[in-house]
Every structure is written in C-alpha cells, then in structure tokens.
Amino acid sequence: MIPDLTNASAETREYYALSEEIRTAAKAIAGPPRPMTHIEVLLAIGTAIANERKAAKRGER
C-alpha cells in the first residue's frame, strides 16, 4: 500500500516509485526502524564517499 505522498520528501517519493518487490526486499534487509547513532551516520556517509572515490578511480563516474 502506498501512502499519500502529497507532502512527502523526494526520497520518500523515489522509494515508493520502486516496485513493491524491491521495497519488500529492502525492508527485509534493513530490518525494523531504529534510530541511528552519530557514529552510524558518520559511517554511512564515510562509506558512501569511499565508494564514490573508488568508482571514480575505476572511471565509473
């Protein structure tokens, strides 16, 4: 079921634009919602930056 997206963020709209199958798989991987600690946020951001740099070195971006 897709909720009313009238006031939703761009990220929320993009998530619900994915197929239900993909949303279900993502929920299974992510597990239940929980707050992230500051270090978890830093790790997520740092990992994304590192992955982008690796991709750039390989010429993917």
Per-residue pLDDT reduced to its tens digit, 8-58: 988 889 999 999 999 999 989 888 888 889 889 899 899 999 999 999 998
What predicted TM-score, i.e. pTM, was given to this entire model? 0.54
Closest alpha carbon to 25 in 15, 12, 14: 15
Cβ proximity of 45 and 38 under 8 Å: no
Handedness of CA 42, 29, 10, 58 (dihedral sign): positive
pLDDT of residue 33: 83
CA angle, 1 as apex, 21 and 44 as ends, to 5°? 60
